[in-house]
């Protein structure tokens, strides 16, 4: 030891795009391990919640119970104030107005969250003196959205859903023109039909989100079936060619994020790498354009076909799981339009795009997760100029988010090695988005029950 010369700790190269100064500008984003809060997130597809059904999910470390009553979706914190039991694990509703905890009968008003009564203790002074947080909901194009908020976030500050959805066309056509395709459809269009899937991914939500609009990751998609079957020829990469290659989106009372000017001269496709002897001839790929807005909503215009836009959400569940939403939106003015969109969705888009093509992205996100899982990756990564997209997004998110989710207490997924979690894993159930429902109160299935021998 004594004759060893002391050496400096290894630092990121000063040539990297994420210098210490740049990192400090997006520190709030680095802090948002459990997600951003006080934003609208997709919760369920409408058909996942028929009348009177109760479902339990988790978003940004907050457990939520949703129930549909007289057609309207109501959302309430899914954690009884008494002993923390999840109401949705074994839903008990005696009427249309309330949900009761199935353990001791604490009964909450679904609209206000007020503790209306206690089944077996109707005169307790706690009644009407405490409440669970409730969450505003809105349903559009067959998707239920929930405004996931802090307990203190006031009702009057809840923004319209449109502030957390991508910008709309044709109203933005002048600002973000593109001669190569028609106006991208929006979920908020009257005749919009949204078809899609959601599933749990094992990575931090930010890793997933940044993958969605990372222009240099085109490399992983070159062997995808949808690319090959269409004889698309992709460039090796795409580099920023101008400092206006990205425009911030930050209108007052509008969504906040960024738009990338893809397939214009502001981005340069890379066709050759001499060192590796690689050369791409005759680029022939779909012209698409990506934009992203808070709380992490991707829009891919003109993808996977004309008149369609793909929307994605990477809804944080815990710090290392997210619910991955992939939704294709198309305007279908007539019933036949809807039918043919559905047919094409089932036969082509779901298997080749949402699964095949985007499954490839799931692999890439998981591959990054270990590097970022303990937080060190955010400082050790060595970003390059094509990462301008991620850096711009991080800065925009740091500036415009409505709150950083606190590390939650007392919820699923906070303790990584709890006995129940381990048991579920050994039983083949991965930790996920939905509550673990009790299907038979008379039967607690355990592998090894011992009884006294006589």
Binding site for another protein (CB under 8 A): 24-25, 27-28, 38, 125-126, 129-130, 149-150, 152-154, 157, 250, 395, 398-400, 402-403
CA distance 81 to 370: 35
- How many CB atoms sit inside 10 A of residue 338's CB? 16
Dihedrals φ, ψ of 335, to 5°?
-60, -35
CA distance 311 to 205: 15
How much is the CA Rg of the chain, to the nearest whole Å? Answer: 24
**Closer of 150 and 202 to another protein (Cβ):** 150
Query: Least distance in Å: CB of 81 to another protein?
Result: 10
Query: Least distance in Å: CB of 251 to another protein?
Result: 12
Burial (0-12, 13-18, 19+ Cβ within 10 Å), 359: exposed
Query: Least distance in Å: CB of 158 to another protein?
Result: 9
CA distance 227 to 234: 8
Query: Least distance in Å: CB of 391 to another protein?
Result: 13
CA distances to 138, 295, 337, 405 from 60, in Å: 18, 11, 37, 6
CA distances to 175, 212, 419 from 293, in Å: 16, 12, 38
Query: Least distance in Å: CB of 153 to another protein?
Result: 5
Q: Which residues 6+ apart lie within 8 Å of 26 measured at CB?
A: 391, 394, 395, 397, 398
**Closer of 212 and 403 to another protein (Cβ):** 403
**Closer of 251 and 359 to another protein (Cβ):** 251
Query: Least distance in Å: CB of 249 to another protein?
Result: 13
DSSP readout, 342-362? Answer: HHHIIIIIIIIIIIIIHHHHH
The three state secondary structure string of 126-168 is: CCCCCECCEECEEEECCEEEEEECCCCCCHHHCCCHHHHCCCC
**Closer of 157 and 335 to another protein (Cβ):** 157
Q: How far apart are the first and last CA of the chain?
A: 68
CA distances to 144, 184, 371, 443 from 338, in Å: 20, 17, 43, 44
**Closer of 148 and 352 to another protein (Cβ):** 148
3-state secondary structure of 333: coil
CA distance 325 to 146: 14
Query: Least distance in Å: CB of 14 to another protein?
Result: 18
- How many CB atoms sit inside 10 A of residue 298's CB? 23
Please list the residues that pair with 199 across neighbouring strands: 324
**Closer of 330 and 400 to another protein (Cβ):** 400
**Closer of 250 and 342 to another protein (Cβ):** 250
**Closer of 19 and 264 to another protein (Cβ):** 19
**Closer of 126 and 283 to another protein (Cβ):** 126
Query: Least distance in Å: CB of 250 to another protein?
Result: 8
Q: Alpha helix locations (H) across 231-354?
A: 335-344
Give the angle 119-125-129 at the CA atoms, nearest 5°: 95
**Closer of 39 and 198 to another protein (Cβ):** 39
Query: Least distance in Å: CB of 132 to another protein?
Result: 13
CA 430 from centre of chain = 18
**Closer of 198 and 400 to another protein (Cβ):** 400
**Closer of 27 and 418 to another protein (Cβ):** 27
Query: Least distance in Å: CB of 115 to another protein?
Result: 10
Query: Least distance in Å: CB of 213 to another protein?
Result: 21
Query: Least distance in Å: CB of 405 to another protein?
Result: 11
């Amino acid at each position: 030891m004594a004759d060893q010369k002391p050496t400096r700790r290894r630092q990121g190269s000063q040539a990297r795009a994420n210098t210490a100064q740049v990192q400090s500008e997006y520190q709030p984003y680095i802090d948002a391990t459990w997600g951003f809060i006080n934003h609208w997130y997709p919760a369920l597809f409408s058909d996942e919640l028929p009348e009177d059904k109760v479902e339990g999910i988790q978003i940004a470390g907050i457990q939520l119970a949703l129930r549909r009553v007289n057609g309207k979706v109501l959302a309430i914190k899914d954690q009884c104030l008494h002993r923390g039991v999840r109401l949705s694990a074994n839903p008990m509703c005696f009427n249309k107005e309330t949900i009761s905890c199935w353990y001791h009968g604490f009964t909450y008003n679904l609209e206000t969250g007020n503790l209306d009564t206690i089944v077996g203790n109707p005169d307790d002074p706690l009644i009407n003196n405490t409440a669970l947080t409730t969450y505003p909901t809105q349903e559009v194009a067959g998707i239920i959205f929930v405004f996931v908020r802090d307990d203190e976030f006031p009702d009057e500050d809840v923004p319209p859903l449109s502030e957390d959805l991508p910008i709309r066309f044709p109203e933005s056509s002048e600002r973000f023109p593109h001669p190569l395709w028609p106006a991208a459809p929006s979920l908020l269009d009257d005749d919009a039909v949204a078809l899609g899937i959601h599933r749990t991914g094992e990575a931090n939500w930010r890793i997933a989100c940044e993958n969605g609009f990372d222009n240099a990751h085109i490399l992983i998609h070159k062997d995808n079936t949808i690319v090959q079957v269409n004889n698309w020829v992709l460039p090796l990469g795409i580099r920023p060619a101008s400092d206006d290659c990205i425009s911030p989106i930050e209108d007052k009372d509008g969504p906040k994020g960024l738009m990338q000017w893809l397939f214009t001269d502001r981005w340069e496709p890379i066709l050759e790498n001499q060192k590796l002897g690689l050369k791409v001839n005759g680029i022939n790929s779909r012209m698409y354009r990506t934009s992203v807005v808070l709380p992490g909503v991707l829009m891919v215009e003109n993808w996977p076909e004309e008149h369609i836009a793909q929307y994605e959400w990477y809804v944080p569940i815990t710090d290392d799981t997210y619910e991955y939403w992939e939704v294709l939106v198309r305007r279908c003015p007539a019933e036949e339009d809807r039918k043919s969109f559905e047919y094409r969705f089932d036969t082509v888009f779901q298997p080749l795009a949402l699964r095949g093509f985007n499954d490839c992205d799931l692999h890439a996100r998981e591959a990054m997760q270990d590097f970022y899982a303990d937080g060190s990756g955010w400082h050790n990564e060595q970003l390059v100029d094509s990462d301008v997209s991620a850096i711009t997004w991080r800065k925009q998110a740091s500036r415009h988010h409505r709150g950083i989710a606190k590390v939650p207490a007392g919820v699923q997924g906070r303790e990584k090695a709890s006995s129940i979690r381990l048991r579920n894993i050994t039983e083949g159930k991965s930790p996920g988005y939905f509550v673990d429902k009790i299907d038979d109160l008379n039967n607690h299935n355990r592998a090894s029950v011992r009884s006294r021998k006589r």
